[in-house]
Amino acid sequence: MMIDIDLLLTLGATYKKVSQGEIIFMEGSRCNFYHQLVCGKIRWNNINDEGKEYLQSMVEPGESFGELPLFDEGPYVASATAEEDSVIIKLHISTFHQLLAEYPEILMSFSKLLAQRLKFKFFMLKDLLCKEPEERISSLLTYLRQTKHNICAECGKVKLTRQQIANMTCLRVETVIRAMRNMNDRGDISIRKGKVYCGNMTPVISDRCSN
């Protein structure tokens, strides 16, 4: 979800630079702001008592994150950390509520976004309980393609590392590496120079897709 930056600034939003590894908010803390990523990358995750990570999402520029408490006034359900040096824009929660009242189309867009994320959680939970590693990975990549998230629209390159895919599917990274090799051999995905591409998309390396 992206709200026009000029509109946010008009309402009093402010920019904030965050350094790689800097925590933006912690799971369980109080929510005071709407956050939207301007540039960089944000890791949105949960860590259990044993120190194991479940990666909710790698947030890309233009996306919002940590929205649920804005609607139910509860604490954050996951933590957000800068994966690299980033810039975010944030708007106080009270002003955010005023914005939703004045712009019902933005409220509708958030409703659709939250519904999509809830559907994805049901989708992944079913796979985590029932499916083999290759099926879990395939389901994740299918969702990412459908939502055009963490996948290059030009060449089909997956923007997630093997470790990040492991943390999103509750698998060991060694299992992900082995499963993706099998998927490459079957033609379900393409692996070129260590990079993963969705199966039926052409892995064309160009200047605009080199990142």
Mean pLDDT per 10-residue run, the chain (211 residues)? 92 97 96 97 90 89 93 93 97 96 94 86 73 87 85 87 92 94 92 83 45 52
pLDDT at 203: 44
C-alpha distances out from residue 27 to 35, 74, 76, 79, 197, Å: 15, 11, 5, 5, 33
Report residue 89: phi and psi, to 5°.
Answer: -120, 135
pLDDT at 209: 54
CA distance 59 to 117: 13
pLDDT at 197: 92
pLDDT at 39: 97
Three-state SS letters, 170-203: CCCHHHHHHHHHHHHHHCCEEEECCEEEECCCCC
C-alpha distances out from residue 110 to 73, 100, 114, 137, 168, Å: 16, 9, 6, 27, 23
CB-CB contact of 73 with 15 (8 Å): no
Domains of the chain: 5-113 (2.60.120.10), 132-209 (1.10.10.10)
pLDDT at 200: 54
- pTM, entire model: 0.78
